[in-house]
Structures are given as structure tokens and as C-alpha cells.
Amino acid sequence: MGAPERLHALYERLVDIYGPQRWWPAKTSLEVVIGAYLTQNTAWRSVERSIENLEAHGLLTIEGLRGVAEDELRELIRPSGFMIRKAAAIKAFISFLDELYDGSLEKLSEESSEVARERLLALPGVGPETADAILLYALGHPAMVVDEYLKRVTTRHGLLPPSSKYAEIQRLAVAAFENDQPSTLRLHFGEFHAVIVEVGKRHCGRIPRCEGCPLAFDLPKRLSNSTRNSVASTPTA
């Protein structure tokens, strides 16, 4: 069985264990976008605090974020950290939306996936993961989101070399769903990222422990009974 099939098998098991996640955890598409910015290298619990602050001040709207002073925005998102960069980035996104899409996420979602991704990546504070998360969960495109946890899962299971970059991991993850109906890709991608984060938060620390991980069954022996920080050095091609 090749790497894509093995990754798909891991996905199926995670779905069996954790059930439907219904990600992204947000009430509106704008909240998805804001959450995507705020969660960068930040615990989700901290993001929730910031979202609550914005909500309490009635700023979880385009108009609200357009009108708020940047220094006040910083204070409200303080719990998420990196507040100076993140406040500037959120402001830049609102300006981008205003200038090119009449301040409408709906209109942005009518843009092609390729053009939208390129334009998102050109914004400050938006890298490949944030762009793909917005494409998938806010704009409705079948974009595969790659995060640190997916990198850890794929490399530790020997599906990819540890040196793999975003695009390579993404190719593998997309290939894992190549036998599924195209019309179901968006839902699968959404649930895939969700269960990866779920298992990642619980079991995929920087130093591989893999204790109690439901996926530990398929780990290469070198990793399955090891608490050292070594990683498989000769992955299967």
C-alpha cells in the first residue's frame, strides 16, 4: 500500500474514533478568517478569548473591523499574542476586501480558487496554511490545509521525509483522496484537517511520545516504543 492509501486509512480511523468535527469552529465566515489569523502559532483557547473580546465589542463584522482603531484592535486580540503584526494583518485584509470585493466575503468567494489563493498569499501575515484555511472554511473551496501536526503525522509514520515542505505534504494529502467523489472533497478536506488537529493536540508533541495515540499502531517500530526525539531517517519511497 502506497503513502496516499496509508494516509487515507489513518484518516478513516480518526473519523471512526473522533466522529464528525464540523470544522471550522466559528459562527460566520468572517469569524473563520479572523480565527485563521489569530491561531498562528497560538493555542486555540487564547484565540477564543480574543474572539470573545471582539464579539463583546461588536467588532466581529466587516464594518466593525473597518472602523476600529488599530491600537484598540491590538488590545482586544492581546490574548492571542503577536498582537502588533496580527492587528495590522487583519486591517490589511479588511482593506483588501473593501478595495477589490466591495467589502464582501461573498464576492471574494466567487473568485477562482487559484486567483484567490494568490491574492491571499500576497497579503501580510498570510502564508500557505492561513490561505488554504480561508479558502476551505471561509470561501468554500476544496483546499487542503497543511499544519505542523500533519507534518508530524506524515513524517513520523514514514510517509514522507522529515525535510518535506508544505507543497509536498499537501500533494500527498490531496492524493489520499483521489479515489473519492470530487463533490465530497470539500467536506473530506475539512474533516481531515479537523481530526488531524484533534489527534495532533493530544498526541503529537514536538518530541514524539505517541503514547496512547490511536495511530501509534502503524508507527515504524523505531518510533512506536521510543520516547527519544529521533525521527525515521530512511522513509519508504
Question: What's the 3-state SS for the chain?
Answer: CCHHHHHHHHHHHHHHHHCCCCCCCCCCHHHHHHHHHHCCCCCHHHHHHHHHHHHHCCCCCHHHHHHCCHHHHHHHCHHHCCHHHHHHHHHHHHHHHHHHHCCCHHHHHCCCHHHHHHHHHCCCCCCHHHHHHHHHHCCCCCCCCCCHHHHHHHHHCCCCCCCCCHHHHHHHHHHCCCCCCHHHHHHHHHHHHHHHHHHHHHHCCCCCCCCCCCCHHHCCHHHHCCCCCCCCCCCCC
Q: Which stretch binds DNA (CB under 7 A): 7-15, 40-48, 181-189, 211-219?
A: 40-48
Q: How many CB atoms lie within 10 A of CB 173?
A: 25
Map the footprint of DNA across residues 160-179, applying CB under 7 A: 163, 165
Map the footprint of DNA across residues 132-161, applying CB under 7 A: 133, 137, 147-149
Q: Which residue number, 76 or 219, has a Cβ lying nearer to DNA?
A: 76
Residue positions counted in the chain:
237
Q: Which stretch binds DNA (CB under 7 A): 12-20, 36-44, 98-106, 220-228?
A: 36-44
- What is the x/- site pattern for DNA, positions 65-94, by CB under 7 A? -------------xx-xxxxx---------
Map the footprint of DNA across residues 41-60, applying CB under 7 A: 41-46, 49
Q: Which stretch binds DNA (CB under 7 A): 58-66, 181-189, 197-205, 218-226?
A: 197-205
Q: Is 235 in the site for DNA (CB under 7 A)?
A: no
Q: Is 1 in the site for DNA (CB under 7 A)?
A: no
Q: Is 20 in the site for DNA (CB under 7 A)?
A: no
Map the footprint of DNA across residues 198-227, applying CB under 7 A: 200-201, 204-207
Q: Which residue number, 2 or 230, has a Cβ lying nearer to DNA?
A: 230
Q: Which residue number, 25 or 103, has a Cβ lying nearer to DNA?
A: 25
Angle at 21 between CA 20 and CA 23, to 5 degrees: 135
Minimal distance, residue 125 CB to DNA, in Å: 5
Q: Is 24 in the site for DNA (CB under 7 A)?
A: yes
Q: Is 126 in the site for DNA (CB under 7 A)?
A: yes
**Torsion angle of alpha carbons 207, 213, 219, 222, nearest 10°?**
40
Interaction site with DNA (CB under 7 A): 23-25, 35-36, 39-46, 49, 78-79, 81-85, 123-131, 133, 137, 147-149, 163, 165, 197, 200-201, 204-207
